[in-house]
Amino acid sequence: RKEVEQDPGPFNVPEGATVAFNCTYSNSASQSFFWYRQDCRKEPKLLMSVYSSGNEDGRFTAQLNRASQYISLLIRDSKLSDSATYLCAVIRSNDYKLSFGAGTTVTVRA
């Protein structure tokens, strides 16, 4: 079983729509969680950290469910510029290994 798994999508949504997707992790000792955004032919860039109580950054909301071992990302009022691949990342507490999911592709259409 992969350490971090994501629904690859693609999610194809109209502008203004809400889109949400999850990422599951297998190691219960995982301690830190992040969402990254990667544009085509570019390096991943941090979108937001994910905190235990959940957190928002503008139109983006991240949630953590430790009991079920998943994190989620919700994008409200989608913009064309939100089209990208979203990667979840997890740090293990025992060896600090930083693992990524394979990414979820989101395409926002006009």
In the complex, which residues of this chain contact another protein (CB under 8 A)?
3, 8, 31-32, 34, 42-46, 49, 87, 89, 91, 95-103
Residue number with CB closer to another protein (17 or 70): 70
Which among 104, 59, 77 is positioned nearest to 18, based on CA atoms? 77
Residue number with CB closer to another protein (20 or 46): 46
Residue number with CB closer to another protein (36 or 61): 36
Dihedral sign computed on CA atoms, order 50, 84, 106, 16: positive
> Residue 16 CB, nearest distance to another protein (Å)?
29
CB within 8 Å of 82: residues ≥ 6 apart: 75, 106, 108
Place of tokens 């990414």: 103
> Residue 57 CB, nearest distance to another protein (Å)?
13
